[in-house]
Amino acid sequence: MDNKKRTFIQAAAAALQNANVKGFFTGQIYTGAGKNVCVPGLNCYSCPGALGACPLGSLQNAVSAWKFRFPYYVLGLMMFFGAAFGRLICGFLCPFGFLQDLLFRVPSPKKLRTFRGDRQLRYIKYAMLLIMVLILPFTYKFTPFFCKYVCPSGTLSGIMLSAADSRLRSLLGGIFTWKATVLMAVVFTSIVIARPFCKYICPLGAFYALFNKVSAVRLHVDGNKCVNCGACAKVCDMAVNPVAAPNHPECIRCGKCVSGCPHGAICFTCLTVRNHAGTIDSKHKA
């Protein structure tokens, strides 16, 4: 996948999910029928341009109200996204992931792919999913903990809303200051480390990671073409070796390894049908 094409898809996806342009000027949140539908990526419900609901926020609200109804719709939709695409959603359709990609292009004296403790830090996002998105909202009703205390996308939305509506600025308090600090940490870290929020914090990425090995869209390495030159691993921003694990949970399927392989050994595939021998046939996509 050519990087320019991917950037165009990311920009188009972000624009489509935030097409309520007048909201950026009026500070009014869109509350139409579109907000009943979850978008696949991390895109705050309160963003003045958002036309849909964030799956993480919707899941937390549903878990908080579990006594009244089980979150069949939200959880089912997220599972559908995960089973169909896995973390390809992170690589192509998530607006906050796109923002991190743009920040990583800012010139910096040093760019880090990995470092001591990097692997251990990646488990934090699973803890975020379990504790901040599921356990705490389940325990303390009507409190979306991740949205309220952590989510930098929500903080960015708050900044845009308060910029458009001066009355909201007087309501900003200590929690907003804390979240603004988290946002700034993510912004500055994104200049040095590719997608730090996706790697270490994002519960939505953790959820989709659970489906990477079984999703319909995946990566395939042709053993007849691969010469183990390591070119694909060198270009991977997520520090994954596609040859060893083409569908690793950390892979966001950005396609850099596909375009970076000098032998054309890596491609996107789509699982189609199980043959009589019990194996999976794959249809090559790109």
Scanning the chain, the segments in alpha helix (DSSP H) are: 3-17, 22-26, 55-64, 72-85, 88-92, 95-104, 118-121, 124-127, 136-139, 145-149, 152-164, 174-192, 196-200, 203-209, 231-235, 256-260
**8 Å CB contact between 49 and 103:** no
Same domain, 171 and 62: yes
Same domain, 223 and 192: no
Cα-based distances in Å from 56 to 17, 82, 150: 15, 13, 12
Give the mean pLDDT of 94-115: 95
C-alpha 176/C-alpha 160 separation (Å) is: 13
Q: What is the pLDDT of residues 23-40, one digit of tens each?
A: 998 888 999 999 999 999
Q: What is the pLDDT of residues 247-284, one digit of tens each?
A: 999 999 999 999 999 999 999 998 653 344 444 455 55
Same domain, 139 and 26: yes
C-alpha 238/C-alpha 271 separation (Å) is: 24
Which class for 73: exposed (0-12), middle (13-18), buried (19 or more C-beta within 10 A)? middle
pLDDT of residue 64: 85
Lowest average pLDDT, out of 56-70, 79-93, 243-257, goes to 56-70
The share of the chain scoring above pLDDT 70, in percent, equals 93
Reported as a pLDDT band with limits 50, 70 and 90, residue 44 is very high
C-alpha 123/C-alpha 53 separation (Å) is: 26
Domain that holds residue 67: 3-209
Same domain, 200 and 236: no
Same domain, 233 and 200: no
Same domain, 108 and 241: no
pLDDT of residue 280: 46
Same domain, 172 and 45: yes
Out of 209, 241, 273, pick the residue that ends a domain: 209
Out of 209, 240, 271, pick the residue that ends a domain: 209
Out of 160, 188, 209, pick the residue that ends a domain: 209
Domain CATH code at residue 221: 3.30.70.3270
Same domain, 113 and 89: yes
How many domains are there within the chain? 2
Same domain, 66 and 135: yes
